[in-house]
Amino acid sequence: MSTGYLLLEDGTSFEGNLCGSEQGSIGEVVFTTAMSGYQESVTDPSFAGQILAFTVPHVGNYGVSAAAMESSRVHVRGVVMRRAMNGEDASSAEGGWIDWLRDCAVPAIEGVETRSLVKHIRNKGAMRGGIFSSETTQDDALAEIGREETMSGRDLASTVTQTEMVELGPLGPGTPVRLAVIDTGIKDSIVTKLRERGATLELHPCSVTADELRAREVDAYFLANGPGDPAALDSIVETIRGLIGHRPIYGICLGHQLLCRAVGLETWKLPFGHRGANHPVKDLVTGRVEITSQNHGFAVRGPGGSDTVDVDQPVGWDTDFGRAELTHVNLYDRTVEGLSLPDARCATVQYHPEAGPGPHDAEYVFDRFLAEINGEVA
């Protein structure tokens, strides 16, 4: 392993040892507090354009396996760890983590004091940075970082979308509905959860138009998770506006943000995002608190333009598409975590009910989506 460093755009650097591809890389530096599920995280398309730091000290304990892929490839630009472990001799491992990062040509650095990094990001906000070998001078490194676009205003969804429509059949009996997905980087877990419940999915490139989607013989539309700034995806927002009321629409994460923008809400960039598997989200309708998996850098503002929801009841208002309600709130910072359009039969959540990685508390959301499509729940 050769030595290297992680450099942030404000000049702060952290020494470490290069591993994985032992190459350099640039991206937006973010962190996750999830204590397991590293392979799922790095293969999550929502992380495109980002260098992901793990707060958990040991990463790679149980190696890698095909079952832990959230897409067909690694999407992070780089991985930052305190202790990289290979873990190839774990019972379920099909290979070692460090070996795999190398085989997948993923730049990584370990031996980094990640807690110091996290505190810096927490205080200063997520920012651009890069992994560099010790041979690269800091001046050169800073220059390279400067050439990378910032995350604000970035359309990364089009880099992870399908090139053409893909159809995926059900994996079990259940609710045999057909969903058309605007694929902005959908995670395998979401696809699997729906298919296991009997759904057939059509994954469409995110450039698909409203006309094309309205013409599909489907029961509902699904708005996927994905990377980048929702404010850079006005074309998709327009597409969505053309679908609301036509058929039910459901969505997760970026999909939620796009639906919110479609009904006129603004989105804004969180200081350093929510990434982890322990965030408490309150369902304002039922009062229940769920522990959720989260991965987002942007959030939705309420109808009055407020960053936070300060009440413990659903916040309702009227939109072009009928009644709208903010249905969920994050109990850490009171940001919006869910939207419902009861008249138009749309519902989206900011968090990840499919987990991958993370807790299953909110998995019932899929059952509810599908039941509502069938008209079983008002």
Partner 1 sequence: MPRRDDISRIMILGSGPIVIGQAAEFDYSGTQACKVLREEGYEIVLVNSNPATIMTDPDFADATYIEPLLPETVARIIEKERPDAILPTLGGQTALNLAKALHEDGTLERYGVELIGANYDAIHRAEDRDLFRQTMEGAGLRVPRSHIATTMDEARDAMDDLGLPIIIRPAFTLGGRGGGVAHTKEDFERIVRGGIEASPINQVLLDESVIGWGEFEMEVMRDHADNVVIVCSIENIDPMGVHTGDSVCVAPQQTLTDPLYQKLRDQSIAVIRAVGVETGGSNVQFGVNPETEEIVVIEMNPRVSRSSALASKATGFPIAKIAARLAVGYTLQEIPNDITLRTPASFEPVLDYVVVKWPRFAFEKFPGADDTLTTHMKSVGEAMALGGDFKQAFLKALRSRELDSVPILPEGLDDLMQLVVVPGPDRFDALLEAVRRGVAEEDICTRTGIEPWFVRELAEIARGYDPEAEGLVRTFRSVDTCAAEFEAKTPYFYSSWERPAADGVTQHEAEGSGREAVVILGSGPNRIGQGIEFDYCCVHAAQAVKDAGVDAVMLNCNPETVSTDYDTSTRLYFEPLTLEDVAAVCKHENARGVIVQFGGQTPLRLAEGLQNLGIPILGTSIDSIDLAEDRGRFGPLLDKLGYQAPAYATATNAAEALVAAKEVGYPLLVRPSYVLGGRAMEIVYDDEALASYLERTGADAHGGGKEIFLDRFLEDAVEIDVDALCDGNHVWIAGIMQHVEEAGIHSGDSACVLPPHSLSGAMLDQVRQQATGLALELGVVGLLNVQFAVFKGELYVIEANPRASRTVPFVSKAIGLPLARLACRLMLGETIEQLDLPEDPLGGFVCVKEAVMPFDRFAGSDALLGPEMRSTGEVMGIARDFPTAFAKAQAAAGAELPDGGTVFLSVTEGDKVLAGALASQLHDLGFRIIATRGTAEAVARMGIPAQPINKIPEGSPHIVDLIQAGEVRLIVNTPTGSGARTDGWEIRSAAVASGIPCITTMAGGLAAARAIAAARSAAPEVIALQEMHAEAAR
Q: Write out the catalytic residue numbers.
A: 253, 352, 354
Among 178, 359, 368, 372, binds partner 1 (CB under 8 A): 359
Could you tell me the smallest distance in angstroms from the CB atom of residue 31 to partner 1? Answer: 8
User: 190: helix, coil or strand?
Assistant: helix
> Residue 376 contacts by C-beta under 8 Å, 6 or more apart in sequence?
none
Tell me which residues in 167-226 interact with partner 1 (CB under 8 A): none
Q: Residue 41, CB half-sphere, CA atoms under 13 Å: how many?
A: 31
Among 20, 170, 227, 276, binds partner 1 (CB under 8 A): 276
Residue 154 or 275 with smaller CB distance to partner 1 = 275
Residue 82 or 197 with smaller CB distance to partner 1 = 82
Size of interface with partner 1, in residues (CB under 8 A): 54
d(CA 346, CA 259): 9
Could you tell me the smallest distance in angstroms from the CB atom of residue 272 to partner 1? Answer: 8
Could you tell me the smallest distance in angstroms from the CB atom of residue 96 to partner 1? Answer: 12
d(CA 30, CA 166): 31
The reply to whether 328 sits near partner 1 by the rule CB under 8 A is no
- Burial state string for 142-177 with b = 16 or more CB within 10 A and e = fewer than 16: bebbeebeebeebbbbbebbbeeeeebebbeeebeb
The reply to whether 17 sits near partner 1 by the rule CB under 8 A is no
Residue 197 or 282 with smaller CB distance to partner 1 = 282
d(CA 19, CA 112): 12
Cα angle 49, 67, 363 (rounded to 5 degrees) comes to 80
The reply to whether 89 sits near partner 1 by the rule CB under 8 A is yes
Tell me which residues in 62-81 interact with partner 1 (CB under 8 A): 62, 65, 67-68
Q: Which stretch binds partner 1 (CB under 8 A): 88-96, 165-173, 179-187, 303-311?
A: 88-96
Contact, 24 vs 133, CB < 8 A?
yes
The reply to whether 92 sits near partner 1 by the rule CB under 8 A is yes
Binding site for partner 1 (CB under 8 A): 5, 12-15, 33-37, 40, 55-58, 61-62, 65, 67-68, 82-83, 85, 87, 89-92, 111, 113-116, 118-119, 122, 276-280, 282, 287-289, 291, 331-332, 355-360
